[in-house]
């Protein structure tokens, strides 16, 4: 490993670099320039009685990057699987911070104030971007707590909140090998903080990334079917991890 890259990895094992964007050499998304995002409505309905209302609060890179329609996004796969399992309908929507960071998640929640009082379930999927930008674990925990507190002020008491863990970025083939090591360390640190936060909230559950998707290095290479298949497995796994 080059000395400069090794020094960056060593830095990540110590005190995180606060507010510093890691240089492109380390955290380069080779497929980012050709990134595809759907431009159809970022909400949908699976028909059925007594529909369950689900809001996905997350970054688009975890929800819909790489597919041409939201019908192939993670929320859509979640909703279809959930409806099949419960016999109820599902109404879903996406609420995404433009920065893809947990720092802006509380403001997104405030902006959805009219929708959340009728919501049954919120799924939070954030952290890939914050891992790559090396957000401080303390800031991550602070902003995640604020996000959850803001949600609980708006949601009905019966509602549930699920936080999906950050995927193991050690397997992100679109990153260089040194970047994968560094991002993996950071992601695990943030996941540990997420579990600490959830421990303090009875209505919050943390769901690990499905093991099925960790068995090989992930190289999307701008191929839609790879994103689609990932969203299907991940979305259905999240749905199965939700209480009936």
Domain definitions of the chain by residue range? 63-240
- Span 63-240 CATH architecture: 3-Layer(aba) Sandwich (3.40)
Average pLDDT, the chain: 84
Q: Which of 69-83, 132-146, 201-215 has the lowest mean pLDDT?
A: 201-215
State pLDDT tens for residues 106-124: 999 999 999 999 999 999 9
What is the mean pLDDT of the segment spanning 73-90? 97
pLDDT of residue 87: 96
Q: How confident is the model at residue 199 (pLDDT cuts 50, 70, 90)?
A: very high
Q: What is the pTM of this model?
A: 0.85
Q: Does residue 83 surpass a pLDDT of 50?
A: yes
pLDDT of residue 225: 77
What is the mean pLDDT of the segment spanning 136-145? 97
Q: Are 167 and 231 in contact (CB under 8 A)?
A: no
Q: How confident is the model at residue 223 (pLDDT cuts 50, 70, 90)?
A: low
Percent of the chain at pLDDT exceeding 90 = 65
Q: Which of 12-26, 154-168, 169-183 has the lowest mean pLDDT?
A: 12-26
CA dist 200 and 44 (Å) reads 32
Q: Does residue 179 surpass a pLDDT of 80?
A: no
Quote helix, strand, coil % in the chain, to nearest 5.
Answer: 45, 15, 40
State pLDDT tens for residues 21-68: 332 223 334 344 346 899 999 999 999 999 999 999 999 989 999 899
pLDDT of residue 180: 77
pLDDT of residue 241: 93
Question: Contacts for 135-140 with beta carbons within 8 Å, 24 or more apart?
Answer: 135/16, 135/101, 135/102, 135/103, 135/190, 136/16, 136/18, 137/16, 137/189, 137/190, 137/192, 137/193, 138/193, 139/18, 139/103, 140/102, 140/190, 140/193, 140/194
Q: How confident is the model at residue 244 (pLDDT cuts 50, 70, 90)?
A: low
Q: Are 122 and 161 in contact (CB under 8 A)?
A: yes
What is the mean pLDDT of the segment spanning 184-190? 93
pLDDT of residue 8: 43
Higher pLDDT pick, 213 / 241: 241
What is the mean pLDDT of the segment spanning 82-105? 96
């Amino acid at each position: 490993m080059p000395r400069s890259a090794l020094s960056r990895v060593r830095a990540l094992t110590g005190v995180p670099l606060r507010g510093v964007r890691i240089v492109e050499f380390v955290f380069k998304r080779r497929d980012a320039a050709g990134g595809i995002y759907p431009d159809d409505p970022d909400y949908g309905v699976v028909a059925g009685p007594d529909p369950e209302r689900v809001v996905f609060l997350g970054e688009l890179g975890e929800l819909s990057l790489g597919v041409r329609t939201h019908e192939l996004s993670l929320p859509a796969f979640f909703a279809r699987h959930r409806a099949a399992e419960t016999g109820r309908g599902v109404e879903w929507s996406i609420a995404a911070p433009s920065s893809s960071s947990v720092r802006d998640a509380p403001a997104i929640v405030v902006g959805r104030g009219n929708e959340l009082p009728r919501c049954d379930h919120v799924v939070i999927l954030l952290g890939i971007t914050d891992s790559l930008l090396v957000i401080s674990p303390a800031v991550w925990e602070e902003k995640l707590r604020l996000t959850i507190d803001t949600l609980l002020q708006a949601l009905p008491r019966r509602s549930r909140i699920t936080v999906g863990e950050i995927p193991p970025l050690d397997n992100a083939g679109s990153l260089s090998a040194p970047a994968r090591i560094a991002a993996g360390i950071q992601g695990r640190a943030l996941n540990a903080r997420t579990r600490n936060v959830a421990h303090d909230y009875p209505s919050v559950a943390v769901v690990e990334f499905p093991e099925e998707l960790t068995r090989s290095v992930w190289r999307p290479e701008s191929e839609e079917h790879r994103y689609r298949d990932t969203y299907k497995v991940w979305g259905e796994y999240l749905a199965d991890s939700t209480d009936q």
